[in-house]
Structure 1
Amino acid sequence: MRILLWHVHGSWTTAFVQGRHDYVVPVDAGRGPDGRGRARTWDWPASVVERTAEELSGERFDVVLLQRPHEAGLVERWTGLRPGVDVPAVHLEHNTPGGEVPFTRHPMADQSRIPVVHVTHVNRLLWDTGTARTTVIEHGICDPGHRYTGELPHAAVAMNDPVRRGRAVGADLLPLLAAQAPVDVFGMNVTGVADPGRGIRAHEDLPQDRMHAELARRRLYVHTARWTSLGLSLIEAMQLGVPVVALAMTEVPTAVPPGTGLVTADLELLGQHVRKLVHDPGLAADLGRRGRAHALERFGLERFLADWDAVLEQVAR
């Protein structure tokens, strides 16, 4: 198939484009939100090609993968094709709902032409999609390999835009964690939370492979998100063999079942878990091995791509 999609979520797209299809991503001179083109910090195959808005006017696609409400309008303006009418389309919902949860209406609610695919069961449960067709395809990632050394007795955290997103991603919890161990924060626009005096250091915009290498050197990974969809950084840490401590929010309690990580909503217990793993390298390594085995089975790339192929083939009929 020839699939049109935007580069919205780099880690998710990296897994998706490992499939057997041809993928077209819009690009513009400024590489802005509607024209990022190919990834620069992830490794994408040659089957992903860039096209400007002008070049897209002559293209034809088997499926359009929509990820934001305004993309359907872009498709029609740039190609003359109406998603769900002139070209088959799927809407992928990455996010948990905002607003008055659980009463938040999805932009694709109550229409029958474009199915909605959620990345977690919690997202599907919380979004009000009315009569729209919905399904869930859980995340899958490219196995980064068991790279854990845990040589640095630090806690790693991954979050994007923590200053803007604040409590949603748990930026306010960093001092609590730093009271137990030095904290290294990885992600985009993270310098604003750095506080070397408290032991909080920022590592910004690292290429994916470099970030994986750095995560694997830390004793543990802490997933601090209160209200986001299931973070791919959590799954990546588990597949790297890094032991994880996570808040028991959204999909985490099922994604990290007992014995594969330490999950809690108790902030005092969260700190105790961090301190326990920092001071017990053997326990940390064992927990990391069990977490990796689970993450490979639950979030493997082969299952993810097979699930997507089934949906794409059904939509394209």
Structure 2
Amino acid sequence: MRVLLWHVHGSYTTSLVHGRHDYLLPVLPDRGPDGRGRAQTWDWPATAVEVTPEQLADEAVDVVIVQRPHELDLVREWTGRRPGLDVPTVYLEHNAPEPHPVTSRHPLADHCPVDGIPLVHVTHFNRLFWDNGGLRTHVIEHSVVDPGDRYTGELPHAAVVVNEPVRRDRMVGTDLLGELAKAAPIDLFGMGDGPIPGTNQLGDVPQDRMHTELARRRAYLHPVRWTSLGLSLIEAMHLAMPVVAVASTEVPRAVPPEAGVVSADPDELAAALRTFVADPDAARAAGQAARAHALQHYGLDRFLADWDRVIEEVAR
């Protein structure tokens, strides 16, 4: 099938375009948020094709995957077709509910009450906590392209991946890093927006190199309080890194006990970091359990099969 979707989240789109369909990716001259086209830093298959808004008017489209409310308007404007009526459409929601974790109503429920548009959540937690109204909902759990077992753990440090840690602050657990850095040196990867005391900020590095660098660290620290489920956590588990994570949103379901430590107690998180730094064998054993779990529950084949089922259902 020919699937139209916007390049919104690079890692997620990387997994999705590895499916068996042809993927049409809108591109604009400035490659801004509504027209990023193909990724510049990920390796995507040739079936991921850039299309301009002008070309979309004449393109055959079997299914549309929208990820932001205004994309429903872009579908009408750029293709001349009504989402859910003239062209089968799925709404993919990446985020945990905001602004309130329990009472937030999903925008599709009120602004686009089209029975023909099902809502796909990326975690069971999200589907449970969003107010979905009467929409049909599915859960397609995350996946990443397997980077392989690269773990060496040679550096007795903890790795963290967080973008914009200053602006996002408590949401991503930036405020926890200073105290946790007393238990183990913390190397912070991601797009920075200011200094974070107590951490070694390594910045935004290319994905493949980052995977190698993460796997050199003894453990992966996931301090995030509020997110769907960070793909960097799933990547770290694929890399065979042991996990120390805040017990929030989907994390308790995603990380089994044998793969590390998940807790809402910062003291327990600090103790886990100290243990892994002091005991490389325990860290390696937990990392192998993390990788086995990630391959079974967050593998690419399962992810793409789940998407195929949803696409085929709406395209009938």
TM-score computed with the length of structure 1 as normaliser: 0.96
Aligned to 2:59: 59
Give 2:68's aligned residue. 68
1:35 aligns with 2:38: no
Q: Which residue of 2 aligns with 1:123?
A: 126
Q: What is aligned with 1:150?
A: 153
Q: Is the 8 A contact 1:227 1:249 kept in 2?
A: yes
Structure 2 residue 227 is the aligned partner of structure 1 residue 228: yes
Do 1:247 and 1:265's aligned partners in 2 also have CA atoms closer than 8 Å?
A: yes
Matched residue, 2:218: 219
Whether 2:40 is the aligned partner of 1:47: answer: no
Q: Is the 8 A contact 1:191 1:203 kept in 2?
A: no
Q: After the TM superposition, which segments of 4 or more aligned residues of structure 1 sit over 3 Å from their partners?
A: none
Q: SS state of the match for residue 246, structure 1?
A: strand
The Cα shift of 1:204 comes to: 2.6
Per the alignment, in what secondary structure is the counterpart of residue 146 of structure 1?
Answer: coil
Aligned twin of 1:171: 174
Shift, 1:63, TM fit: 0.3
Name 1:192's counterpart in structure 2.
194
Match of 1:269 in 2: 268
> In 1, are the aligned partners of 2:89 and 2:314 still within 8 Å (CA)?
yes
Are 2:198 and 1:204 aligned?
A: no
Superposition map of 1:247-258 within 5 A: 247-258=246-257
Task: Structure 2 unaligned segments of length 5 or more: list them.
Answer: none
Which deviations, in whole Å up to 9, do the C-alpha atoms of 1:281-306 show, x marking residues without a partner? Answer: 11111110111111110101111110
| 3-state DSSP of counterpart to 1:166 | helix
AA partner of residue 28 (structure 1): L
Shift of 1:194: 4.2
| 1:177 partner letter | L
Distance (whole Å) between structure 2 residues aligned to residue 270 and residue 207 of structure 1: 28
| 1:189-232 deviation line (CA, Å, top 9, x unaligned) | x251344xx3x122333221111011011111001110110111
| Separation in structure 2 between the aligned mates of residue 242 and residue 73 of structure 1, nearest angstrom | 42
Partners of 1:102 and 1:126 within 8 A in 2: yes
Query: Counterparts of 1:66 and 1:31 in 2: how far apart (Å)?
Result: 18
For residues 193 and 135 of structure 1, what CA distance do their matches in structure 2 show?
40
Q: CA deviation at 1:35?
A: 1.0
Work out whether 1:23 is the aligned partner of 2:23.
Answer: yes
Sequence identity percentage: 62
The aligned amino acid for 1:171 is T
Cα deviation, residue 172, structure 1:
1.1
Indicate the SS of the match to 1:70: helix
Q: TM-score, normalised by structure 2?
A: 0.96
Q: Which amino acid aligns with 1:170?
A: G
SS in 1 for 2:103: coil
**Conservation of the 8 A alpha-carbon contact between 2:222 and 2:246:** yes
- Work out the CA distance in 2 between the residues paired with 1:153 and 1:41: 29
Counterpart code for 2:115 = S
Preserved CA contact (<8 Å) 2:167 2:193: no
Alpha-carbon offset, residue 101 of structure 1: 2.6
Deviation digits for residues 136-194 of structure 1, max 9, x if unmatched? 01112211111000111111001122222111111111112211222111122x25134
DSSP 3-state at the match of 1:141: coil
1:51 is displaced (CA, Å) by 1.3
Q: Distance in 2 between matches of 1:162 and 1:5?
A: 29
Unpaired segments ≥5 residues, structure 1: none
Q: Tell me how large the CA RMSD over aligned residues is.
A: 1.2
Query: Is this contact kept in 1: 2:84–2:114, CA < 8 A?
Result: no
2-structure distance, mates of 1:182, 1:297: 31
Residue pair 1:256, 1:263 contacting (<8 A) in 2 also: yes
Contact 2:166 2:196 in 1 (8 A): no
> Which of 164, 167, 172 is 1:161 aligned to?
164
The reply to whether residue 298 of structure 1 matches residue 301 of structure 2 is: no
